[in-house]
Structure 1
Amino acid sequence: MSYKSIIVNLTVDASPAPIVKLAAELAERFGAHLVGLAAADVPPLVATGDGMVYEGEIMQIQRTEIEKRLAVLRAEFERLVPTSITSEWGQAVCSPTRFLGVSARAADLIVTSEAGDNVFRAVDIGSLVLGAGRPVLVVTNNVDHDLAKTVLVAWKDTREARRALTDALPLLAKANEVIVATIDTDRDVRNSLADVAVFLEHHGIMPRTELIAGEADGDNLLSFARSAGADLIVSGAYGHSRLREWAFGGVTRTLIEASGVNRFMSN
């Protein structure tokens, strides 16, 4: 298994260089085709404190500004991607989450940066993971291009965690160290760590397993990841509702809101 088509999402308000360089390195590592995408939307008509509304002329100005920014991002993407990698570009003036979700049907992996507060200009990571049907790699703003040297697999015996483990196999196979850890107190889940280790060994990956002491929450997981020197956390995500979080209970929310750590999530 490998990634043969990778989408990299460029946020309109961030520098494109770090994430494009990382995505290009991944594409080179796996011999993948690289698709650069960027989108932003014009906010709908809203009333101001003076009773005014944003009307057609103002909305057109905003649209023009977005289109200019998208053109800049395209030029940067094409400049930064080596000629040894096949690539293409796509852009739209629409919801970045919707545009990326629709485009995901043509990719094995989605690479995006940490979310912003403006849903018209940045991807909603939770909605993307829930709806894309593809694994999502969320990279930090100061990401090291040599990604996935030490990978922490956050294990819980659920469909989502199993899916994430399988989706991450290409990255795990190239990691220097793979740690499969659980903070679940259920004996059967702890016993399942041995089965996961055997599964990975069949793929030529020799992991170590860990039981994380303490509370079963996201902060505990992040603390363990830092102490282990992990530069990537692999985890399952929600079930059928954003109110039902299956990866360590509330860990999904914590990982989505976290910063300073790379996260690989599948649903």
Structure 2
Amino acid sequence: MSYKTIVVNLAVDADPAPILKLAVEFAQRFDAHLIGLAAADVPPLVATGEGLVYEGEVMQIQRLEIEKRLAELRGIFEKLVQTSVSSEWTQYICGPTRALGLLARSADLIVTADGGEDVFRAVDIGSLVLGAGRPVLVAAANAEQLLGKTVLVAWKDGREARRALSDSLPFLAKANEVVIATMEANSGDDVPSSLADVAVFLEQHGIMARTEVITGAADGDRLVAFARSIRADLIVSGAYGHSRLSEWAFGGITRALIRESGISRLLSN
């Protein structure tokens, strides 16, 4: 298994160079086709002294500014990528989360930096992971490379973790060390057995891994601390969440991994 098509998201309000260099390296590592994407939208309401109103002229100016920025990002993409990998460019006048969801149907992996609060100009990581149906690699802040020498697989015996494990196989196959860890308040006989089964699964793919049980209740900050203790530069995890009315409600570990910015994370649902 390998990634043959990778989508990289270039945020309109951020320096595109770090995430683009990272994505180019991935495309070279996996011999993949790279799709560059940038997207932003005009908010439907404009704030004025009289409140929130529709203002056609202001919205048109904002749209032109977005189109100018998208053209700039395309130029940067084409300059940095050149002929180093097979590539193409696409852009949308819509929210980046929606744009990535559209491209996800033709991609093996989505690569992005952390998101932001403005859904018209920044990706919502939680909504993307739970809605894309593809693994999402959220790069550490300003990371230009991800060696993936030590990969931590956060294991919880369920659909999401199993999906994340399979989705991360290309990274795991190239890692120097793979650690499968689970967090359990009471480690019964089924916990080591579950971890052993995962290790056997990876071994059948030519990947040797060691297992760890982190005692205590599941806690995202403790998981991240453990990742740092083993010097992991990538955390693989299933994303656990559900829609509560119009908002996503996440489990504690998923929330912690979404807000973590010091270590790259591959999240899958």
TM bin (shorter chain): over 0.9
Letter in 1 for 2:31: G
Secondary structure of 1:223's counterpart equals: helix
Letter in 1 for 2:194: S
Note the residue ranges of structure 2 that are not aligned, 5 or more in a row: none
| 1:228 maps to 2:230 | yes
* Mapped contact 2:140–2:262 kept (Cα < 8 A): yes
Structure 1, unpaired ranges of 5+: none
- Give secondary structure in 2 for the equivalent of 1:160: helix
Letter in 2 for 1:140: A
- TM-score (structure 2 length as normaliser): 0.93
Asked if the contact 2:146–2:233 (Cα under 8 Å) also holds between the matched residues in 1, the reply is no
Q: Distance in 2 between matches of 1:61 and 1:37?
A: 22
1:141 aligns with 2:127: no
Kindly provide the amino acid, as one letter, of the partner of residue 2 in structure 1: S
Where does residue 11 of structure 1 map in the other structure? 11
1:121 aligned partner? 121
Give how far 1:93 is off: 1.0
2:84 maps to 1:84: yes
Code of the aligned partner of 1:30:
F
1:200 matched residue in structure 2: 202
Is 2:127 the partner of 1:131? no
User: 1:53 maps to what in 2?
Assistant: 53
Does residue 210 (structure 1) correspond to residue 212 (structure 2)? The answer is yes
- The structural deviation recorded for 1:244 is 6.3
Q: What are the superposed Cα offsets for residues 174-220 of structure 1, whole Å, 9 maximum, x if unpaired?
A: 01111100002452234200000111111111111111133311011
TM-score where L is the length of structure 1? 0.94
Moved more, 75-84 or 49-58: 49-58
Quote the offset at 1:56 in angstroms.
0.7
Give the letter for the 1:264 counterpart: L
Deviation at 1:148, TM superposition (A): 1.2
> Residue 67 of structure 2: SS of its match in structure 1?
helix
User: Using the alignment, how far apart are the partners of 1:214 and 1:74 within structure 2?
Assistant: 48
CA contact (8 A) 1:154 1:233 kept: yes
CA distance in 2, matches of 1:25, 1:12: 21
Q: Distance in 1 between matches of 2:242 and 2:116?
A: 24
Shift of 1:49: 4.3
After superposition, the Cα gap between the structure-2 partners of 1:121 and 1:252, relative to the gap in structure 1 and judged at 3 Å, is same
Does the Cα contact within 8 Å between 2:19 and 2:142 map onto a contact in 1? no
Looking at structure 1, the residues matched to 144 and 202 of structure 2 have their Cα atoms a distance apart, in angstroms, of 25
CA distance in structure 2 between the partners assigned to 1:113 and 1:134 by the alignment: 16
The count of residues paired between Structure 1 and Structure 2 equals 264
Using the alignment, how far apart are the partners of 2:45 and 2:243 within structure 1? 30
CA distance in 2 between partners of 1:130 and 1:146 (Å): 23
Query: For the Cα contact (< 8 Å) 2:107–2:134, is it kept in 1?
Result: yes
Amino acid of the structure 2 residue aligned with 1:261: I
| In structure 2, distance between residues paired with 1:216 and 1:133 | 25
Pairwise CA distance, 1:258:
1.6
2:263 maps to what in 1?
261
SS at structure 2 position matched to 1:129 = helix
CA contact (8 A) 2:97 2:127 kept: yes
Indicate how the Cα distance of structure 1 residues 144 and 64 shifts in structure 2: closer, same or farther if over 3 A, else same.
closer
Equivalent positions of 1:37-116 (< 5 A) are 37-51=37-51, 53-116=53-116
- Which structure carries more strand by proportion? 2
RMSD of aligned C-alpha atoms? 1.6
